[in-house]
Amino acid sequence: MLIKVRVTVGARAEKVVKKTDDLYVVSVKEKAEQNEANKRVLEIFRKLYPRKSVRIVKGHHSPSKIVEVG
């Protein structure tokens, strides 16, 4: 399953909003330095979808990402 994710980095509080079945808006506290924000996004999706593999397919250097869960 492919999920579109819009990420905001450097937020005061972490937040995950499910807009549609395949679109999430995620705010993380981490900065977009040394892959910290991407790591946190993957941790969040691993909690949402346990026992499934989660990886970023597209958008490693962009706020708009495609995450594969499956």
| Architecture of the domain spanning 2-69 | 2-Layer Sandwich (3.30)
pLDDT of residue 44: 97
Long-range contacts of residues 10-18, Cβ cutoff 8 Å, at least 24 apart: 14/40, 14/44, 16/44, 16/48
Please write the tens of the pLDDT for every residue from 6-50.
999 999 999 999 999 999 999 999 999 999 999 999 999 999 999
| Residue-range domain boundaries for the chain | 2-69
pLDDT at 3: 97
Phi (first) and psi of residue 3, to 5 degrees: -125, 130
pTM beyond 0.85: the answer is yes
15 residue type, one letter: K
Identify the pLDDT of residue 59. 98
